[in-house]
A and B are shown apart, each in its own frame.
Chain A
Amino acid sequence: MDTETYQEGRVVHQPEYIDGHSVEIPILKILKQDGSVYKNADMPTIDQEHATRIYHTLAFHRVLDERMVASQRQGRLSFYMTALGEEAAIVGSAAGLDDNDMIMAQYREQGALIYRGFSLENFMNQMFSNEKDLGKGRQMPIHYGSKELNYMTISSPLCTQVPQAAGYAYGQKLKGNKQCTICYIGEGASSEGDFHAGLNMAAVHKAPVIFFCRNNGYAISTPSTEQYAGNGIAARGVGYGIKTIRVDGNDLLAVLKATQEARDYVINENKPMLIEAMSYRLGAHSTSDDPSGYRTREEEAKYAKHDPILRMKNWMLAQNWWDEEQETVLFEDLREKILAAVKVAEVIDKPAIEELITDVYDVPSAQLEQQLSSLKEHIKKYPDAYPVTAGRIK
């Protein structure tokens, strides 16, 4: 009996313990801050055209964040979330995929949507929840979605997209069309039960999904030291039997390299992969948050030196794929266009009152029709109290 094992494994006769931090997980770095590349680094597949698309995306992202925070401060917009400092992790990973792969994001991944070509008008219409918003003005700003661009509509509940990504990818596998899903998640959301559920489901059912964790050091005010005691998020992947890599999230080339290899792996092996991108959330959590309540200016200044967009720009300059004049023209052009788009979108009408009850079901129920009809009668009686819709009710 003493030679038998109940599950496969090496047998010992004195207690032997595995330390919780014994799994060493290195960080992949390719690009230095000055734009040079580490000696012997494995480069991702990238050419000038691809690099230019990526850099345009990064620039658009930075200017969009600047302008929309300003708009929110002016009271023109109810809410906004930037991705300052994390742009390379988001855009670099989206650039490692095929545009037909599904993206299931948390909320700080508008960079992936910019990369896919979501129009400036679409961004604005969503943020101003006007009648041209694809989401019909129902969700808070930055909860984007696009069927056409394979970008699943964002929802606020954290981590719910993780087991969903496992299911979505499983469906892609059954369909056999060689596509995968990427699922973005923050290190805070990774403490939710759905993280465990989703990674385990994906591993057991062999779903072609890339779990991409943005570990930016904070979940609102909670530092990662109060989020987990293990070796980050990456160490957990190992426990689920999932191939795992940790990368420098401010190094676009490292992120791109890891994602390109992850895509090949998940599609050819029909297994999930986990990428943990280490970064720092340079901005506030959202426009409703003030980080000065929980961290120092010195700390922020230290990480600001690792600006991922500047690092990519330095590399582009070193390749002679970019110059300062192009830089100036691009950023000025983007500032003008985005400001102009804000002015257009903010005066477009809100969706018609009828959209309040559509899409609850495929067809509105009789009860919903009745509720809408009562509401319209009420608004007609008190039009001054409902200025957004009163004038448009027939």
Chain B
Amino acid sequence: MAQMNLLQAINNALEIAMTENDSAVCFGEDVGHFGGVFRATSNLQEKFGKDRCFNTPLTEQGIMGFANGLASQGSVPIAEIQFADYIFPAFDQIVNESAKFRYRSGNEFNVGNLTIRTPYGGGIAGGLYHSQSPEAYFAHTPGLKIVVPRNPYQAKGLLLAAIRDKNPVIFFEPKKLYRASTGEVPEEDYQLPIGKAEVVKSGSDITLLGWGAQMETLEKAAEMAEKQGVSCEVVDLRSILPWDADTVAESVKKTGRLLINHEAPLTGGFAGEIAATIQDMCFLHLESPISRVCGLDTPFPLSHEKEYMPDELKTFEAIMASVNY
């Protein structure tokens, strides 16, 4: 075990993946000698050479097209998009190409070796284009897997799983936690399962569901509610696609109430998908309407970031409204 922050855990996972497989290649804007604007790829070029860790021209569609080609050739591309806000120029390559490669060719070809790493989320005064959480755009795309870790231990285990998974995976990294979140991380190789939620804290009155950086918010809100005598079960979804409806439904059948929290705007956000599925699976167990505590349906603002965010206080209020319904 070693004490690592989230960036160090990611760097450690990349080093393990590149050591075990000569065809693993890391690339993106400023990823090379500089080690990435957040330093997630520090020292990889020194260790593995310029052919395997390098800067690309500033072109997201180029990065993803290049990555699709490399993956279809049999290499293991680990592509970085500098901010999730800038993944949209590559939307066509990801949605029309990566996601459909295996299906459309009858499995003659695939890009299963592909991993896309990208920092996402607010909380760093990033304004409109350094704060977005675009997971719901991709959740509507069969063929992709989507993973969001909440701490260094998860980041390493889930990233290694993503790199080795035989499907294209988008790995959203909560940049607010890059240095803020530290913890014990095994130095050896390990993996955490994709597609499985984790019950972080057991409770009996309401299920609180979230992912990534918002898990801290849920835990703080749960503490506030516990002081009011409300027992909260806190669940980390971890994978947006495929998502673990069974674990969530099992929890909701026990508590009878569900609150979903995400940073992204409410309308069309992934909480909508979860709410619809869970009301279908748990209709006779629900004692109050499913609650969604999300970002507003606005672009991500700078000066009103605090007001915009679905923070612990808004979450606490929603918990109390649900249990008092």
Contact, CB under 8 Å: B107 / A361: no
Complex CA–CA separation, A204 to B93 (angstroms):
20
- Residues A147 and B69 in contact in the complex (CB < 8 Å), given A171-B75, A174-B25, A359-B103: no
A71: Cβ under 8 A from any B Cβ: no
B210: Cβ under 8 A from any A Cβ: no
Please tell me which stretch of A16-24, A88-96, A138-146, A283-291 contacts chain B, meaning at least 4 of its Cβ atoms lie within 8 angstroms of it: A138-146
B57: Cβ under 8 A from any A Cβ: yes
Contact, CB under 8 Å: B69 / A170: yes
The interface bits of chain B over 49-92 (1 if a CB of A lies within 8 angstroms of the residue's CB, else 0) are: 00110101101011111111111111101000000000001001
A201: Cβ under 8 A from any B Cβ: yes
Interface centre among B57, B69, B74, B92 (most CB of A within 10 A): B69
Contact, CB under 8 Å: A155 / B96: yes
B15: Cβ under 8 A from any A Cβ: no
Q: Taking the nearest CB of chain A, how far is it from the CB of B79, in angstroms?
A: 10
Contact, CB under 8 Å: A167 / B73: yes
Contact, CB under 8 Å: A200 / B104: no
Chain B residues, CB < 8 A from A104: 69
Please tell me which stretch of A42-50, A158-166, A230-238, A298-306 contacts chain B, meaning at least 4 of its Cβ atoms lie within 8 angstroms of it: A158-166
Closest partner residue, chain A, to B60 (CB atom): A197
A194: Cβ under 8 A from any B Cβ: yes
Provide 29 A-B residue pairs closer than 8 Å at the C-beta atoms, listed in order of the A residue.
A102-B73, A135-B104, A136-B107, A138-B103, A143-B104, A147-B108, A152-B72, A153-B109, A155-B104, A160-B96, A160-B97, A163-B64, A163-B65, A164-B65, A164-B68, A167-B71, A168-B72, A169-B69, A171-B69, A194-B62, A194-B92, A197-B57, A197-B62, A201-B65, A205-B54, A205-B56, A361-B143, A361-B145, A366-B242
Complex CA–CA separation, A200 to B23 (angstroms):
23
B166: Cβ under 8 A from any A Cβ: yes
Chain A residues, CB < 8 A from B70: 167-168, 170-171
Which of B56, B103, B105 is in CB contact (< 8 Å) with A204?
B56
- Residues A157 and B73 in contact in the complex (CB < 8 Å), given A145-B109, A162-B65, A197-B65: no
Contact, CB under 8 Å: B97 / A201: no
Contact, CB under 8 Å: A163 / B69: yes
Complex CA–CA separation, A146 to B89 (angstroms):
29
A391: Cβ under 8 A from any B Cβ: no
The interface bits of chain B over 305-318 (1 if a CB of A lies within 8 angstroms of the residue's CB, else 0) are: 00000000000000
Which of B67, B109, B112 is in CB contact (< 8 Å) with A167?
B67
A101: Cβ under 8 A from any B Cβ: no
Interface residue ranges, B against A (CB under 8 Å): 23, 25, 51-52, 54, 56-57, 59, 61-75, 77, 89, 92-93, 96-97, 100-110, 112, 142-143, 145, 166-167, 195, 242, 245
Q: Taking the nearest CB of chain A, how far is it from the CB of B151, in angstroms?
A: 26
- Residues A201 and B62 in contact in the complex (CB < 8 Å), given A164-B69, A193-B89, A360-B142: yes
Contact, CB under 8 Å: A194 / B51: no
Q: Taking the nearest CB of chain B, how far is it from the CB of A158, in angstroms?
A: 10
- Residues A365 and B105 in contact in the complex (CB < 8 Å), given A167-B69, A198-B65: no
Which of B59, B102, B107, B110 is in CB contact (< 8 Å) with A200?
B59
Chain B residues, CB < 8 A from A143: 104
Q: Taking the nearest CB of chain A, how far is it from the CB of B238, in angstroms?
A: 15
Chain A residues, CB < 8 A from B65: 160, 162-164, 166-167, 194, 197-198, 201
Interface residue ranges, A against B (CB under 8 Å): 102, 104, 133-136, 138-139, 143, 145-147, 152-153, 155, 157, 160, 162-172, 174-175, 193-194, 196-198, 200-201, 204-205, 358-362, 365-367
- Residues A200 and B96 in contact in the complex (CB < 8 Å), given A135-B104, A163-B69, A361-B167: no
Complex CA–CA separation, A204 to B27 (angstroms):
13
Contact, CB under 8 Å: A362 / B69: no
Q: Taking the nearest CB of chain A, how far is it from the CB of B277, in angstroms?
A: 9
Chain A residues, CB < 8 A from B51: 174
Contact, CB under 8 Å: B69 / A135: no
- Residues A153 and B105 in contact in the complex (CB < 8 Å), given A164-B66, A360-B143: yes
Closest partner residue, chain B, to A156 (CB atom): B96
Q: Taking the nearest CB of chain A, how far is it from the CB of B142, in angstroms?
A: 5
Which of A102, A138, A147 is in CB contact (< 8 Å) with B104?
A138
Contact, CB under 8 Å: B66 / A167: yes
Closest partner residue, chain A, to B65 (CB atom): A163
Chain B residues, CB < 8 A from A152: 72, 109
Closest partner residue, chain A, to B23 (CB atom): A174
Chain A residues, CB < 8 A from B101: 153
Contact, CB under 8 Å: B69 / A153: no
Chain A residues, CB < 8 A from B102: 359-362
Q: Taking the nearest CB of chain B, how far is it from the CB of A324, in angstroms?
A: 40
Complex CA–CA separation, A174 to B26 (angstroms):
13
Complex CA–CA separation, A102 to B66 (angstroms):
15
Chain A residues, CB < 8 A from B145: 361
Chain A residues, CB < 8 A from B97: 155, 157, 160, 164
Contact, CB under 8 Å: A197 / B61: yes
Complex CA–CA separation, A157 to B64 (angstroms):
15
| Apart from the given pairs A147-B108, A367-B242, 13 other A-B contacts in the complex at a CB distance below 8 Å | A155-B97, A155-B100, A157-B97, A160-B96, A163-B62, A163-B65, A163-B66, A168-B69, A171-B75, A175-B74, A201-B63, A359-B105, A360-B143
Complex CA–CA separation, A174 to B89 (angstroms):
27
Complex CA–CA separation, A271 to B25 (angstroms):
19
Q: Taking the nearest CB of chain B, how far is it from the CB of A152, in angstroms?
A: 6
- Residues A171 and B73 in contact in the complex (CB < 8 Å), given A138-B104, A361-B143: yes
Contact, CB under 8 Å: A171 / B74: yes
Closest partner residue, chain B, to A193 (CB atom): B61
Q: Taking the nearest CB of chain B, how far is it from the CB of A188, in angstroms?
A: 16
Complex CA–CA separation, A381 to B102 (angstroms):
31
Complex CA–CA separation, A135 to B100 (angstroms):
12
Q: Taking the nearest CB of chain A, how far is it from the CB of B171, in angstroms?
A: 17
